[in-house]
Structure 1
Amino acid sequence: MLSVAKGVLLDWDGCIAVDNRILSSAKHLIAQHADRVAIVSNNSTHLPADLEEILARHGIAFARERIFLAGVEALRDVARSGAGRVLLLAAPKMRNFARTLGLRLVRDHPDVVVLMRDARFTYGKLERAANALRQGVPLVVANADRTHPGPGGRVVPETGSLLAALMACSGDLALEPRVIGKPGPLLFERACDGLAIAPGQAVMIGDNPETDGAGASRLGMTPILIGGSSSLGLEDLLEPVVA
């Protein structure tokens, strides 16, 4: 499948990197497929430039224009919508990025609530966001993953765990949350556009059947799952090195 694909989409956490440490097999896979590769991740705490820098520290030259992240795309989506007042629950870096897009960040009376992975999530933030949603304010969520893989087999709580808390005290919402990341189509489509290919010409390599697998399949893209319940590891996808 890799040999005939015109595009190779790679997940970040648990596939290319664990705790932002690049896996050796990922380094070799990227090198083997070079310009056919795009990174498609539900990451909502980093910018493409950050991942470009992490890759560069590991000796991998990779253009940030081929890195597509749920947090960044969520904020761009909100900026394009023309929302005036935004209650943003996110890491400081993402708040700074939101301001560069012209978004006005507020604590109360928002036009939209935006939720991302926020390691500084507090009871006060939960209270403000829940009451805004109960008043009919729409909710945009970067990604719905509950966890992602961490070092030593540990899990890292993700945006979906915060979403569960928010939904638990928001009651029946007038509007369903808009989820930007995988398994939704937006990140896959942006990546394929960036590689100038159709979804059916790409494979998606990831570790999560609910996001990487299901999302790719819905677009006619071939998913290749590694880790977890899959018998494959990333090293199994490497082409043999000819001596």
Structure 2
Amino acid sequence: MKKYQGYMIDLDGTMYLGKQKIPAAKEFIERLQAKKIPFLFVTNNSTKTPDAVARNLRDNFQIDVDASHVYTTAMATADYLAELDPSKRSVYAIGELGLKAALLNQGFYFEETKPDYVVVGLDSDVTYHKFEVATLAIRNGSKFIGTNADTNLPNEKGLVPGAGSLIALVEKAVQEKPLFIGKPEPIIMKKALDKLGLAKDQVVMVGDNYLTDISAGINFGIDTIIVYTGVSTRDQVAKEKVQPTYQINSLSEWNI
């Protein structure tokens, strides 16, 4: 096993399963902390702020981290757009607090008529009016951005619509594909790597989902570790053309 100087880590399915603890996850993070190895939780969840994500980990799973350990697709979206063209700062966003806070933190302001960007993420209170405003703005020249392409999210009710499903509605209405930021796209990985301040060959992506976590690492050109505690199974992964760098059943098997 290679020794890495930094880790990018998925959350649901890797650190926990919904509201269920994964015992090896807490111990895995404690081993990283004991060796002072930097890590970031890289998540496609755009609805929560970093503080809220860290608080959930602390309060519900006893994983002692803070907001500095969290990098969301909302943050990656705001960071990417901020560097794209510093003169463009108006945005119309379909999304929740996590997305809107990230955009505000990067100096963006919200506008409905002629925004520079239309950003669509998960929004549990989405309305037809929001889709209407987004559609008209994109048709009038606003750049179309999607936080992530996840069509479904697992919760206690089952597989519910994810950000990708909402984005697909706008995509149909404007007949234009968005630029996606989150996993498995390399944009979020590049921004996360910038946060860690390391080189590609020094870091590894850890996750349970081949189609998002592992594909993100592969697309970005870094090593990957798939842990079979969540979405993907060994049989499913065996059929993939490009295999993860490492495959483990539990984080307890990984020697940091």
TM > 0.5 fold call: yes
Q: Which amino acid aligns with 2:28?
A: L
What's the secondary structure of 1:238's corresponding residue? helix
Instruction: Name the TM-score, length of structure 2 as normaliser.
Output: 0.80
CA contact (8 A) 2:138 2:174 kept: yes
CA contact (8 A) 1:89 1:118 kept: yes
What's the secondary structure of 2:55's corresponding residue? helix
Q: Which residue of 2 aligns with 1:48?
A: 50
Unaligned runs of 5+ in 2: 238-246
Mapping for residues 156-195 of structure 1, pairs under 5 Å? 156-171=160-175, 173=176, 176-195=177-196
Q: For the structure 1 residues 88 and 229, does the alpha-carbon distance in structure 2 shift closer, same or farther, using more than 3 Å as the test?
A: closer
Q: Deviations over 1:92-150 (max 9, x none)?
A: 45324433433221232322101111111111111221122222221111111112332
Structure 1 residue 200: Cα displacement: 2.3
Instruction: Measure the CA separation in 2 of the matches of 1:195 and 1:101.
Output: 19
Q: Which amino acid aligns with 1:163?
A: I
Structure 1 residue 151: Cα displacement: 3.4
Match of 1:67 among 63, 67, 70: 70
Aligned residue pair count: 236
Q: For the structure 1 residues 197 and 99, does the alpha-carbon distance in structure 2 shift closer, same or farther, using more than 3 Å as the test?
A: closer
- How high is the sequence identity, in percent, across the aligned residues? 28
Q: Which amino acid aligns with 2:31?
A: Q
CA contact (8 A) 2:147 2:163 kept: yes
Q: Deviations over 1:10-64 (max 9, x none)?
A: 1112222344665333212212222433211111011222222222224322242
Q: Deviations over 1:52-80 (max 9, x none)?
A: 22222243222422321111221233344
Unaligned runs of 5+ in 1: none
Instruction: Measure the CA separation in 2 of the matches of 1:234 and 1:85.
Output: 45
CA contact (8 A) 1:184 1:215 kept: yes
RMSD of the alignment, in Å?
2.7
Mapping for residues 219-238 of structure 1, pairs under 5 Å? 219-225=220-226, 226=228, 227-231=230-234, 236-238=250-252
Instruction: Name the TM-score, length of structure 1 as normaliser.
Output: 0.83
Instruction: Measure the CA separation in 1 of the matches of 2:52 and 2:21.
Output: 13
Mapping for residues 44-193 of structure 1, pairs under 5 Å? 44-57=46-59, 58-80=61-83, 81=85, 82-151=87-156, 154-171=158-175, 173=176, 176-193=177-194
Q: Deviations over 1:133-175 (max 9, x none)?
A: 22222111111111233237x224221111111111112x3xx
